[in-house]
């Protein structure tokens, strides 16, 4: 069974977000071994300089890199990434699994995103939209799209 890890910077605190993520986590259990890990977000002041932001992203990248499972194909969610529709995303998952991949790791950054190095090292940079979303809401959207992709690949009627 495929292992899917979602590494997220920051903690979900709002109950409505945690309940939504938990629901999709349960649903994903039918299709993969799903793990979600929250990593601490670096705290910055109200008006951080570009240098402070870069340093914080680097510290977050170090923590993320330590948690990526060995041999996992990594996907970095970022606004400048490729935009795929749900069917195309499902096909990518199917091709990775069919091509012998046993482990996938998706990365969601915090308020300032992901470091450039993490994005460069990912097998795919993926964007769900050119719009900006709160990273906590984006986490719910990403988990839902993972679930949708698995249901598409299994022929379920969830995807219309």
Mean pLDDT of 90-109: 94
Please count the other Cβ atoms lying within 10 Å of the Cβ belonging to residue 20: 18
Please count the other Cβ atoms lying within 10 Å of the Cβ belonging to residue 62: 12
User: Residue 160 — pLDDT band, cuts 50, 70, 90?
Assistant: low
CB 12 within 8 A of CB 112: no
* The pLDDT value given to residue 125: 98
Q: How far apart are the first and last CA of the chain?
A: 26
Q: At the topology level of CATH, where does 3-154 sit?
A: Alpha/beta knot (3.40.1280)
Token pair listed for 82: 């490729």
What does the chain come to in residues? 160
* pLDDT tens digit sequence for 76-95: 999 999 999 999 999 999 99
CB 10 within 8 A of CB 135: yes
Helix (H, G, I), strand (E, B) or coil at 146: helix
Domain spans of the chain?
A: 3-154
- The number of helices, as runs of H, and strands, as runs of E, in the chain is 5, 5
* pLDDT tens digit sequence for 8-63: 999 999 999 999 999 999 999 999 999 999 999 999 988 999 999 999 999 999 99
């Amino acid at each position: 069974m495929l292992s899917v890890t979602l590494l997220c910077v920051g903690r979900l605190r709002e109950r409505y977000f945690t309940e939504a993520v938990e629901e999709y986590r349960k649903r994903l259990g039918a299709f993969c071994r799903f793990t979600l890990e929250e990593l601490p977000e670096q705290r910055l002041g109200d008006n951080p300089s570009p240098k402070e932001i870069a340093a914080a992203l680097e510290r977050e990248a170090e923590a993320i890199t330590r948690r990526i499972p060995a041999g996992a194909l990594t996907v970095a969610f970022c606004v400048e990434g490729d935009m795929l529709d749900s069917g195309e995303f499902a096909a990518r998952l199917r091709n990775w699994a069919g091509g012998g991949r046993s482990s996938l790791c998706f990365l969601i950054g915090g308020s300032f995103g992901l470091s450039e190095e993490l994005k460069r090292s990912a097998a795919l940079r993926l964007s769900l939209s050119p719009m900006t979303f709160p990273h906590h809401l984006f986490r719910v959207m990403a988990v839902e799209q993972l679930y949708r992709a698995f249901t598409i690949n299994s022929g379920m009627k969830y995807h219309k």
